[in-house]
Structure 1
Amino acid sequence: MTDFHGRLSELLKARFPILCIESYEEQRVIEAVRRLVHDAKLVRTPRAVVTWSLTEGLVHEDGSRRTSTNEPSRALDAVIGIKQPCVVIFRDLHHAYDERTGSPGVIRRLRDIAQAFKNGPVPRTLLLLSPVLRIPAELEKDVTIVDFALPTEAEIRATLEAMIAANAGRIRIDLDEIGRERLAKAALGLTLQEAENAFARALVQDEVLDLSDIDLVHDEKRQAVRKSGLLEFVDLTTDLADVGGLENLKRWLHRRNHAFLAEAAEYGLPAPRGVLITGVPGCGKSLTAKAVATAWGLPLLRFDIGRVFSGLVGSSEQNMRTAIQTAEAVAPCVLWVDEIEKGFSAVGGGDSGTSSRVFGTFLTWMQEKRQSVFVVATANDFERLPPELLRKGRFDEIFFVDLPTRAERVPIWSVHLTRRLRNKRVAGALSPTPATLDELATLSDGYSGAEIEQAVVTGLYDAFAERRPLEYDDLVRALVNMVPLSVTQAERITGIRRWADQRAVAATAAEDWDPGGRRDSGEPPSRPYGGRPVEY
């Protein structure tokens, strides 16, 4: 028995007169109610189910309709006259609440029904069903809200299996048991109709059902995210292989792949909560956030906390709750909060406590969340991070990303050069050979990954200006003319490293640390790179 069936059964037995359900899935709700009211184990007295809509009026289970009941007031008058045990489901009645544009007297009639049904000789219940939750103030004490969850994984899986069986012989199925589980999990957060649409699109696209069809399911989720206006659905174009270095962080992430599957739950593992990545700007924090979603095959949502705050009193708190609900509806997913310290910089400030309340809502959700939403938060300024955010239970781990070591600069150069030298107009005598990459890694000591990428781009501009292929000297000249962050903000970087020395885990693997640990950018802390030398 689901939570919905259990709670609705209790409310019907207790003769609660008016219930309210917020859901877009009208038919799924109606079918669930019908199954419940005819189950002798859940209700003492079987009840008839009568439905109403503005277009059909009152319709009984046998299909017969009551004439002249399309108008809400007339329909409610007819409902009071029903003398048999029943559940009457009114769809979209919320349009009639407005005294200027709706039907006059609807709210008064609903209060009369609440009194009549509560004290009547037979059990009767009025159920208000609509896609938006709108209860007039006059009815707040008479109406009880019942939560109706989106389809479970089992329901979605059953729909998927039914569609596969119905199309047997016409399509090819390239999914094992784990593949089918991943496809069903990808559709969590969709209505049953939306999930069915996504699966149908996957079936007709190439007549092959495989793991690549997860992208089509994510397209359906993209619609829900865009409508919220608070989250951004990010296209996945980056893999962990595109992230140079940071092997310790990458190993940690690889070991948590597939942790959202049922196999992990049976093993006794909780779903991973999230990771906070802090460190020197331009060293791959945001790139890693994008790459983890690709590696895990999950949708990536970007959460701009600045959108939460608005001028209306109380709307910021509601916006945060809406953003959280949207992320949970799309789960399992990766929620990327970029530069989280800027979003909550006003916590404790003079904004009448709005920032503190919003921040508190976010912290409570991170601590108590039950849905598989993996939070990847990035931060550049550790001093502005609220201490409450750093305690265990919010994130699984805190990683520190330092300037890349010599061993890490080699793959960074390789990634950027290989990507651009695929163009025949760019490629010439220059090739990313081990010797070339080694020389460039040596020359770029103290440069961040973003600065190395910019050196490649600057070299391309010089080559394009002369309409010739990229040359080694172009890259050297770009490096020489660039003043890296390790020079312009040497003191700040040293301070960041000392902060991370005891508070965070090094994203760089110990085997990649430079011998001696000294750089052109200055003296390091007690260890070569900031962060505790924990190995994953």
Structure 2
Amino acid sequence: MSNYAESLSHLDSYISARVPVIAMRTIEQQRALRLLRESATQSRRSSMPFWIYTRATGLRDLRTNAAVQDDRSLTGAMEFAAAQFGSRANATVVFVDPDQLDSDNPVTRHFAELARLADSNMGSMVLITDTPIWSGLQRLGMSLKLDLPDSDEMYGILSGFLGDHHGHIPIEWTEEDARSAAEFLSGVTEAECVNLMATVAAKGSIRKEDVRGLAQAKDRIFSDLTGLERVQLRQDDYTIGGLAGLRTWLRRKEQMISKDLRNTALRPPRGVLLVGVPGCGKSLSAKAIAQEWALPLYRLDMASIHGKYLGESEGRFREALAMADRVAPCILWIDEIEKGLAGRDDMSGVPQRIIGQFLYWLQESQSRAFVVATANDIRSLPPELLRKGRFDELFFVDLPDAQDRKEIIGIYYRRYLQGEPDTDQLDRLVDLSEGFAGSDIEAALRDVGEQALISGGVAELKDSYIMDTFAQVRPLSVVHPEQIEEIRAWGRERAVPAGRGAVTPAPGDGGRTRRIVFMDE
């Protein structure tokens, strides 16, 4: 049963039971009014009067839309309702988005009096609003929440739109494409869905690639997202080096993002947790995945979540996750997640409650928000976050081996020096960069690029300058070898390698394995 059909069933039962107050919460007024008209026009209710009040049109007959009185004020409509409830049975009056329903005030108390009057003569009052209703009024009746269209209802909306345009413009979509599009549009209103499809159709055709394009188009609907920062991606800006194990795993997950999972026990991919050595590209992986999957990227800023008032942090975090569900499909990037979830011994209990909210969302959310979380300080991560089933996988990001360093050097050499290193030079740079993270290699070649620009071109640089620049770098594996070794020892035992497998050791590493994930920025 779709959300619309379920809501219609509840509304029918409330009207039949002559519940004095029916509070309908929704942000889609037109959809709610269609629901009401469908219920009111049933043949068994032909003798029951229905009126509707809106600020723009005043009081009108719900079925015929004929004006009832010239007074368009809320007070006039409430006086009319009082007269009807007092003089006849089975009267129903609908009020659309009246003001000040969320607190104890003269308006809500007036509505409460109307509800008691309606109850005495089998009347019903329907309040359509997108805000909470004062509890004193709410307790006099029943509530009904009309949620956004689910995937089945969205599929019906899309099918109707495609049917209206069939024969007028070329349409390449199959039923499977329409089902995928319905999943992608989860979280938007019916009107927003129609507007998005109209924008697609305005191009003169509806192509296969428009299914994935809806994710980007949907992203433009939302602005000022609570706790979420939209990260803009540039075309061809994130080249992946190394990362063989993770890349293979991601290719399988990408297919699941757009699959129709309705008739399976499967759920959309939840995400990946990347832990490992700082500077090896964990954060850039989120950008690369969003670029490759052609999905919008949002960064969950944990710093903006925390507030100073009791319950403020938890509320902001809950809103951010709810918004992530709405904008899905998307990539949700949580950088250095351990900083936002730290403080397990905090006496306020805030970190523990935030962890609880996050774990529940990871476990229960059915949205197509793919989480890419990164962590450097593994010891700060709560153990329950690492349990299988929270994230789809936990990958360890290690220092690059010789083969990956060669690929990384080539990427940044082309970026900053607009050329290719010769074979001998490349081999020497690979040797000199032993123990470097990807960020160390980038920093060295950026310095070389700056000097080349000052000197008039790379041809003017002495080969020894490039070698000296690399030789002067002191990577974190040399500056803090104990810290790096601790991270690597943890990752080798507890996480899946993001790279190919065993590689050459870092300086002083005692022959242990090395693995890498690297994203070109």
Match of 2:322 in 1: 325
Distance 1:96 1:14, change over 3 A: closer
Match of 2:94 in 1: 89
Distance 1:66 1:455, change over 3 A: same
Q: Is the 8 A contact 2:95 2:127 kept in 1?
A: yes
User: 1-side partners of 2:392 and 2:438: how far apart?
Assistant: 25
SS at match of 2:53: strand
Unmatched segments (≥5 aa) in structure 1:
421-425, 532-536
CA RMSD of aligned residues (A): 3.1
Match of 1:386 in 2: 382
Match of 2:34 in 1: 31
Q: Is the 8 A contact 1:259 1:269 kept in 2?
A: no
The code of the aligned residue for 1:485 comes to L
Q: Are 2:282 and 1:253 aligned?
A: no
Distance 1:220 1:333, change over 3 A: closer
User: 2-side partners of 1:238 and 1:505: how far apart?
Assistant: 30
Distance 1:46 1:113, change over 3 A: same
CA deviation after TM superposition for structure 1 residue 280, in Å = 0.6
1:316-343 CA-partner distances (Å, limit 9, x unpaired): 2221221121111112222111111001
Match of 2:331 in 1: 334
Q: Is the 8 A contact 1:52 1:58 kept in 2?
A: yes
Structure 1 runs of 4+ aligned residues shifted over 6 Å read 43-46, 96-99, 238-241
User: 1-side partners of 2:436 and 2:147: how far apart?
Assistant: 50
1:482 to 434, 448, 473: 473
The code of the aligned residue for 2:31 comes to R
User: 1-side partners of 2:508 and 2:293: how far apart?
Assistant: 36
The code of the aligned residue for 1:443 comes to L
Match of 1:67 in 2: 69
User: 2-side partners of 1:491 and 1:27: how far apart?
Assistant: 63
TM-score, normalised via structure 1 length: 0.85
CA deviation after TM superposition for structure 1 residue 487, in Å = 0.6
1:98-135 CA-partner distances (Å, limit 9, x unpaired): 78xxxx83222211232233443x4x43222223x232
CA deviation after TM superposition for structure 1 residue 473, in Å = 4.8
Q: Which moved more, 1:490-499 or 1:442-451?
A: 442-451
The code of the aligned residue for 1:91 comes to V
Q: Are 2:231 and 1:228 aligned?
A: no
Distance 1:337 1:97, change over 3 A: closer
Structure with bigger RCO (C-alpha 8 Å, 6+ apart)? 2
Q: Is the 8 A contact 1:278 1:398 kept in 2?
A: yes
1:529 to 489, 514, 517: 514
Q: Are 2:476 and 1:464 aligned?
A: no
Match of 1:302 in 2: 299
Match of 1:423 in 2: none
User: 1-side partners of 2:288 and 2:147: how far apart?
Assistant: 31
**Structure 1 vs Structure 2: percent identity of aligned residues?**
31
2:439 to 439, 447, 450: 450
CA deviation after TM superposition for structure 1 residue 383, in Å = 1.0
1:225-282 CA-partner distances (Å, limit 9, x unpaired): x323311122234779712111111111111112134445545432222211111111
Match of 1:76 in 2: 78
1:189 to 184, 187, 210: 187
1:207-246 alignment runs, 5 A limit: 209-211=207-209, 214-215=212-213, 217-224=215-222, 226-237=223-234, 242-246=239-243
Distance 1:508 1:38, change over 3 A: same
User: 1-side partners of 2:447 and 2:366: how far apart?
Assistant: 47
The code of the aligned residue for 2:125 comes to L
User: 2-side partners of 1:140 and 1:311: how far apart?
Assistant: 31
Q: Is the 8 A contact 1:37 1:46 kept in 2?
A: no
Match of 1:534 in 2: none
SS at match of 2:241: coil
1:47-75 CA-partner distances (Å, limit 9, x unpaired): 65432112222211211122155222331
SS at match of 1:457: helix
User: 2-side partners of 1:17 and 1:359: how far apart?
Assistant: 42
TM-score, normalised via structure 2 length: 0.87
Match of 1:54 in 2: 55
1:347 to 344, 362, 376: 344
User: 2-side partners of 1:479 and 1:182: how far apart?
Assistant: 49
CA deviation after TM superposition for structure 1 residue 97, in Å = 6.5
Q: Are 2:355 and 1:359 aligned?
A: yes
Q: Is the 8 A contact 1:39 1:46 kept in 2?
A: no
The code of the aligned residue for 1:193 comes to A
Distance 1:180 1:98, change over 3 A: closer
CA deviation after TM superposition for structure 1 residue 488, in Å = 0.9
User: 2-side partners of 1:227 and 1:457: how far apart?
Assistant: 35
SS at match of 2:257: coil
